[in-house]
Amino acid sequence: MRKSIALQQELGPVFDITLDCEDGASAGHEAAHAKLVASIVAGDDNRFARIGARVHDSGNAFFEQDIKLICGNSGAASRLAYLMLPKAESLAEVRAAIALIEHHSQRAGREDLPLHILIETHGALADVFAIAALPQVQSLSFGIMDFVSAHFGAIPSAAMRSPGQFNHPLVARAKLEIAAACHAHGKVPSHNVTTDIKDSASVAADAGRARAEFGYTRMWSIHPQQIQPILNAFTPPQSEIATAAQILLAAQQAEWGPIQHEGTLHDRASYRYYWSVLQRAKNSGAALPENTSTLL
């Protein structure tokens, strides 16, 4: 946790940190761990208010305890970037969890706590468009290992990693459904982890495929060493940033009417695309061309 927080303070708010109450707490120390998470979120180390928390699933005995200790803490609730809910089985379960989360967070003075839902069960995947439509939901993530395990051997273990994770039809379908649901409702699709911690090239390759082929705009890391390769993969190349700036500045001069750029017609449909390129570049901390500040 501390290494990730130190890296965030160094690089700035270009990535989020999720403190894990589900797998991060040792048996018998769940309450102490949730209190530690709340103290970190509420503390000075949360410089950009971009630290979230993953709680136990709503069917777990420690779920409500996590919510009370984190969302019910006014200092943590006010600075919590989001709350992540794992292992949801259905839309109904997500709605019930939201009701409990809002009960405690609103009592602590937080009215608009974003939720991130981990899609890793058959039921959640079946309801994925309805889950993405919930106003409290900000992002959906794919939990590949639990999803593959839920098939009890029908999907080989090789599909938990590359290249199988992108090639196996059932896994690829799940990824595409999640991404499509997010884009249909203006939410953020976040790709699953790469389990190879030390191979930066594998991390970068997975992130590149997730972005270019499956429409994901974020990706999980499981080690600080993975963060920079992921950021690099999701940052538009400088050539695309420069092209986007040229097209949008010319369009601005034309009062957003159609223009030609290097022999190609552009109108408001392509302007929206190139605006998103500049927005992604800004969010990634990339240098932007001069005179583009008025475009964002």
Is there a binding annotation on residue 79? no
- Do residues 274 and 186 both lie within one domain? no
- Do residues 7 and 79 both lie within one domain? yes
> For residue 252, what are the domain limits?
238-295
- Encoded tokens for 41: 């979120």
Q: What is the CATH number of the domain that holds 172?
A: 3.20.20.60
- Do residues 76 and 110 both lie within one domain? yes
Is there a binding annotation on residue 272? no
Over 90: is that where the pLDDT of 2 sits? no
- Do residues 250 and 117 both lie within one domain? no
Domain-ending residue, one of 216, 234, 252: 234
- Do residues 192 and 264 both lie within one domain? no
Query: pTM (2 decimals)?
Result: 0.93
165 confidence band (pLDDT: 50, 70, 90): very high
Tally of domains within the chain: 2
Average pLDDT (234-260) is: 96
- Do residues 226 and 251 both lie within one domain? no
238 confidence band (pLDDT: 50, 70, 90): very high
* Terminal C-alpha separation, the chain: 33
- Do residues 123 and 66 both lie within one domain? yes
- Do residues 166 and 204 both lie within one domain? yes
Instruction: Print burial letters for 134-155: b (CB count within 10 Å at least 16), e (below 16).
Output: bebbbbbbbbbeebbebeeeeb
- Do residues 223 and 247 both lie within one domain? no
> What pLDDT, on the 0 to 100 scale, is given for residue 179?
99
C-alpha to C-alpha distances, 164 to 143, 171, 205, 207, nearest whole angstrom = 15, 8, 13, 14
Is there a binding annotation on residue 95? no
pLDDT tens digit sequence for 171-224: 999 999 999 999 999 999 999 999 998 899 999 999 999 999 999 999 999 999
Average pLDDT (244-272) is: 96
- Do residues 188 and 201 both lie within one domain? yes
Phi, psi of 111 (to 5 degrees): -100, -20
Q: What's the CA angle centered on 161, arms 180 and 157, to 5 degrees?
A: 105
